[in-house]
Amino acid sequence: MLIQISTLVFVFLTLIVIVFQLALAMGVPWGAASMGGKFPGKYPPKMRMVAAFNALVLFFFCVIVLSRANFIAPQLFSFSKTAIWFVIIFFGISTVMNIITPSKIERIWAPVAAFQLITSLIIALS
């Protein structure tokens, strides 16, 4: 039961971040809440591409977590046993970076990243 709840929480939170990244990629002026607030307002074209790439990476992380939790893609299960640790490292770093960011608004992502870290760790250790 804990694995299923952790998986659903991870995917839900990650989908929120994916939507945020896609919004940045489409020019929504939320740049102050990302990348340390270095690009307030709309992202420049290069950073929009970075945001779109971030969304793709996060989607891939969802696939890894869902596979590791046996929700989808059983053929990826053995790959996900190793790949989940990259997800954990990513969200560990993300948690720290969102805590220490100079952008006050970006700190709203720290608890999100922390929950992603905790839930992916629960799934990895299952």
114 has pLDDT over 90: yes
Question: What pLDDT digit, counting tens, does each position of 47-69 carry?
Answer: 999 999 999 999 999 999 999 99
| pLDDT band at residue 37 under the 50/70/90 scheme | confident
Least confident of 54-58, 103-107, 108-112, 113-117: 103-107
Question: Of 93, 71, 89, nearest to 9 (Cα)?
Answer: 71
Query: Any idea which residue has 């740049």 for tokens?
Result: 31
Cβ neighbors of 30 (< 8 A, separation 6 or more) are 20, 23, 24
Amino acid at 26: M
pLDDT at residue 74 in the model: 87
Q: Quick one: which H or E segment has residue 8?
A: helix 2-25
Query: Any idea which residue has 């990513």 for tokens?
Result: 90
